[in-house]
Amino acid sequence: MSNLHSSRILIVDDQDSLRNLLVKYMLKAGLEPIEAENGKRAIELYRLMRPSVVLSDVMMPEMDGLTLLKEIKKIDKQAAVILMTGYGSEEVLIESLRGGAANYFKKPFNFQEVTEAIKHILKYRADIDSAQYYSPFITEEKKEFIFNTEEADIYPIINQITINLARLVPTAEILNLKIGIEEILKNAIEHGNLNISAEEKNQAIEQGELGKLMDSRLKQNSNNRKKIYITAKLDRESFSVTIRDQGKGFDWKSLPQPTAESLLSFSGRGILLTRIYFNEVLYNGVGNEVTLVKRVNF
């Protein structure tokens, strides 16, 4: 990852109105958007301007999002590409995610949520060079964390437990693994300890009041003192992260498999993303503990 502009976002969509709206929200968020109306132009701009994140439609004339992803990955294996998609592009979407796309949003989406996802990736991209600090001689590592819900600054923890991942997986995959861990940690905090339903969260996001909802739940039933427990292990063959909350759990057996159809119909996008990025996602009986497993693949 060289010469990346820390706040430059490349927006790729053949629909002028959507691009204009995204530019508006990126500017409002203090980011630097650049635009491309098709994949060919996007590749030219990526080579020239090296944005930190690419936000691209899946279905476009001349070049679809999967082809664009492959071409950008040829330029930069660590490129962060987020996809925008709607019904009718499911097969291309799931192939793109398995090919290294960092996230996706189903149209119509909440612009604030997309902006926040981009900011989170920028945090990880700023830290991705920490891979140079790992030791190639490490054979085993175990780290444990415990924190109260109100103390949930998860990004330093995620960066800490993934600092030696370059020992096990290509650095191009580390960003996606961080995103998967983040999604499960957010579920543990929001749905587990704060008992916020998917419907309540989606409504709060649409109204721009997710922070307000979380603050309200923190004040109820001593939720602020409920804990999150994390155990991360790394050895020569695998990396695992176990995350446990003090919520009542959920019926994890009802979760769909990450198929082309379920990606656009199931509200739990983060869980499906994590199932794509990790080899195994294992739950305990009640569903308040999940273990993510990534095995060596090179």
Q: What is the model's pLDDT at position 2?
A: 44
Checking if the pLDDT of 242 tops 90, the result is: yes
Q: What is the model's pLDDT at position 229?
A: 97
Q: How far is CA 225 from the centre of its chain?
A: 27
Q: Which residues contact 16 (CB under 8 A, 6 or more apart)?
A: 37
Q: Which two tokens stand for residue 121?
A: 């990736």
Question: Ranked by mean pLDDT, which of 73-77, 174-178, 189-193, 238-242 comes out on top?
Answer: 238-242
Q: Quick check: do 5-127 and 135-295 share a fold? A: no
Residue in this structure with the two tokens 């054979």, named with its chain if needed: 139
Q: Tell me: the pLDDT tens digits for 243-261? A: 999 999 988 888 877 776 7
The share of the chain scoring above pLDDT 90, in percent, equals: 46
Predicted confidence band at 223 (pLDDT cuts at 50, 70, 90)?
A: confident
Q: What is the model's pLDDT at position 62?
A: 82
Residue in this structure with the two tokens 């961080």, named with its chain if needed: 178
User: How much is the pTM?
Assistant: 0.86
Q: CATH number for the 135-295 domain, one of 3.40.50.920, 3.40.50.10860, 3.30.565.10, 3.40.50.970? A: 3.30.565.10
Q: CATH number for the 5-127 domain, one of 3.40.50.2300, 3.20.20.150, 3.40.50.12280, 3.30.1330.10? A: 3.40.50.2300
What gap in Å lies between CA 96 and CA 152, rounded to an integer? 31
Decide: 235 and 139 in contact? Cβ < 8 Å: yes
Q: What is the model's pLDDT at position 116?
A: 87
Q: Tell me: the pLDDT tens digits for 12-61? A: 999 999 999 999 999 999 999 999 999 999 999 999 999 999 999 988 88
Question: Ranked by mean pLDDT, which of 190-194, 230-234, 266-270 comes out on top?
Answer: 230-234
- Exposed, middle or buried, 221 (CB in 10 Å: 0-12/13-18/19+)? exposed
Question: What residues does each domain of the chain span?
Answer: 5-127, 135-295
In the chain, which residue ranges form alpha helices assigned H by DSSP? 16-28, 39-49, 65-75, 90-98, 111-127, 154-161, 171-187, 198-206, 210-218, 260-265, 269-277
What gap in Å lies between CA 132 and CA 124, rounded to an integer? 14
What gap in Å lies between CA 118 and CA 220, rounded to an integer? 31
- The DSSP string of 223-266 is GGG-EEEEEEEE-SSEEEEEEE-SS----GGGPPP--HHHHHH-
What gap in Å lies between CA 244 and CA 230, rounded to an integer? 7
